[in-house]
Amino acid sequence: MPSLSIIFVSIALAVGVYSLLNKLRSRGSSSLSQRLPPGPRPWPIVGNLPHLGPVPHHSIAALARQYGPLMRLRLGLVDVVVAASAKVAAQFLKAHDANFSSRPPNSGAKYIAYNYQDLVFRPYGPKWRMLRKISSVHLFSGKALDDYRHVRQEEVAVLVKALSNSGSTVVNIGQMLNLCAVNALGRVMLGYRVFGDGSSGSDPRADEFKSMVVEVMVLAGVFNIGDFVPALEWLDLQGVAAKMKKLHRRFDAFLSTIVEEHKANVSQNQQHTDMLSTLISLKDDADGEGGKLSDTEIKALLLNMFTAGTDTSSSTVEWAIAELIRHPNILAQVQQELDRVVGRDRLVSELDLAQLTYLQAVVKETFRLHPSTPLSLPRIAAEDCEINGYHIGKGTTLLVNVWAISRDPAEWTDPLEFRPERFLPGGEKAHVDVRGNDFEVIPFGAGRRICAGMSLGLRLVQLLTASLVHAFDWALPNGLVPEKMNMDEAYGLTLQRAAPLMVQPRPRLAQHVYRA
């Protein structure tokens, strides 16, 4: 533990550096007559960090209502701009996308994501393009998704069977959804289920894994003072870096075991068709300008898949089921559509999804009200640029408030209402999609750094939501009425529910469907 004298000296030095940089910035700005975006007055040293509060996407949205949809913040020594409207977001992520194609330095990428060796946080360049190409071709292409359609359907069927066997037991639907998502991804990535099928009740290993994933998202969502005031980084005032390092060791042990076991199996049997075998085979294949794929990059990719590819999907479906329970008339309409298209003698398949127009509107409305990443992953300006007449300096960090944009009353009628009809023919946003081209709702981001797993995420969320709504009616425990449900958010990198959704599923299909 550093002594108090050292701490005071460090803080004094930070104050001095902060003051000097402020003077240099102000002189440079005045000499160039730069017009900077408006924003709240920063505090000494910490800047606007105190303005962020416990739920930053809410606080930043409130500030944007005061200062405008293009707003400037000073977080410690870091200049930040916030896009809080669809038009402003389009300027950054479409018109100036190339200039904002890299990530700023941050402790999450450094301590958890193998020091920027992953796809999500790696700086834009040849290596990033190589990883993106590998992911696009081998993991998320239309052919790859179609080839493993049966795996997703089988794992959803396992989930449905486990829920039907729960009887009158109250279940934590979020945990079971996460288990399904991890096992579906595990079978594609590794060739086997990572955990049990959920039929024998709670799986401690699965529960621990979900807790690790949630902890990643919570820690990665923290505005760490050390990221914004470098002179204070070594003090780790919030204890964030220490927690990240500890969590990384747990994840690395988990992933290293998987990779080493897989190498041994592949050397004995060359018939593996899972994605990890493909990645291992690419280790010695210098694919284009990016060079060879290392063990660390393979583990970093697995980390991305098992965190961003599981918790985001399961959390979104959990929000969807909660909204449908709160709106029984909408739930009834979805079930009527499913009964008409699918019937009651089989489960939903992915091939049915294109015909489920109202279900797709429900999923879009869930993405709108409950985007899995409420504040976009940050980007950084490679060069100076001008947006809407304002100067954006090189090195400025960009945050897009996805949550605020999708609740903007300038874009949406009754924006706080759960209303899937807005996406149906004749609705206010009938032609708006969630794939990054319509900036009113961008749950997967947009531009070069759009979520690589968007197509998989859409398929899985639609299939899971359709299957649960089709196969079950839903009751709340202990006489809780839907109007009294806790719909509060717990902030992290992903949008978790503050209170897990506890429900009692009641089968509504033919009995033989649940035995399949």
Q: What is the pLDDT of residue 4?
A: 39
pLDDT over 90 (residue 260): no
Tens digits of residue pLDDT in 380-428: 999 999 999 999 999 999 999 999 999 999 999 999 999 999 999 999 9
- Residue 14 vs residue 142, higher pLDDT: 142
The domain over range 34-515 is classified in CATH as 1.10.630.10:
yes
Interhelix angle for 357-369 vs 454-471, to 10°?
120
Closest CA to 356 of 480, 459, 244, 264: 459
Q: What is the model's pLDDT at position 455?
A: 94
- The closest alpha carbon to 122, from 135, 113, 111, 133, belongs to 113
Give the confidence band of 168 by pLDDT, cuts at 50, 70, 90. Answer: confident
Q: H helices within 269-310, ranges in order?
A: 275-281, 295-308
For helices 173-189 and 311-326, the axis angle rounded to 10 degrees is 150
Lowest mean pLDDT: which of 21-30, 82-91, 439-448, 463-472?
21-30
Q: What's the mean pLDDT in 126-134?
A: 92
Alpha helices in 56-172 (DSSP H): 56-67, 86-90, 107-111, 126-134, 142-147, 149-164
Given pLDDT bands bounded at 50, 70 and 90, which one contains residue 34?
confident
User: Among 205-209, 230-234, 237-241, whose mean pLDDT is lowest?
Assistant: 205-209
HSE-CB for 176 with a 13 A CA cutoff: 27
CA–CA distances in Å: residue 187 to residues 150, 210, 313, 339: 11, 17, 16, 30
Local confidence band at 274 (pLDDT 50, 70, 90 cut-offs): confident
Measured between alpha carbons, how far is residue 369 from residues 94, 316, 328, 412 in Å?
23, 10, 18, 11
Q: Angle formed by the axes of helices 454-471 and 173-189, to 10°?
A: 130
Range 257-285 average pLDDT:
76
- Cβ burial of 84 (10 Å; 0-12, 13-18, 19+) is buried
451 is in an annotated binding site: yes
In the chain, where the domains are located: 34-515
The pLDDT value recorded for residue 479 is 86
Residue with tokens 């294949």: 285
Burial of 264 per CB tally in 10 Å (0-12, 13-18, 19+): exposed
Confidence of residue 288 (pLDDT cuts 50, 70, 90): low
Report which of 295, 321, 248 is spatially closest to residue 487, judged by C-alpha positions.
321
* First-residue to last-residue Cα distance in the chain: 59
For the residues 20-28, what does the mean pLDDT come to? 47
List Cβ neighbours of 85 (8 Å cut-off, separation of 6 or more): 69, 70, 405, 408, 410, 411
Report pTM.
0.90
**Is the confidence at residue 71, as pLDDT, over 60?**
yes
Mean local confidence (pLDDT), 135-147: 90
Q: What is the arithmetic mean of pLDDT over 17-37?
A: 56
pLDDT value, residue 201: 56
The tokens for 266 are 């592949």
Percentage of the chain lying above the pLDDT 70 cut? 89
pLDDT, tens digit (0-9, with 9 covering 90-100), for 428-445: 999 999 999 999 999 999
Distance CA 244, CA 241 (A): 5
Q: What is the pLDDT of residue 31?
A: 35
pLDDT at 19 over 80: no
What is the residue-averaged pLDDT of the chain? 88
**Average pLDDT, stretch 305-315?**
88
Contacts of 165 (CB under 8 A, 6+ apart): 199, 514
Sign of the CA dihedral with 238 first, then 239, 244, and 250 last: negative
Report the DSSP beta bridge partners of residue 474: 505
Total residue length of the chain: 516
Q: Give me the phi and psi of 47, to 5 degrees please.
A: 65, -130
CA distance 32 to 257: 56
pLDDT band at 32 (very low <50, low <70, confident <90, very high): very low
pLDDT digits (tens, 9 = 90+) for 73-113: 999 999 999 999 999 999 999 999 999 999 999 999 999 99
Strand partners, 234: none
**271 pLDDT more than 90:** no
pLDDT of residue 9: 42
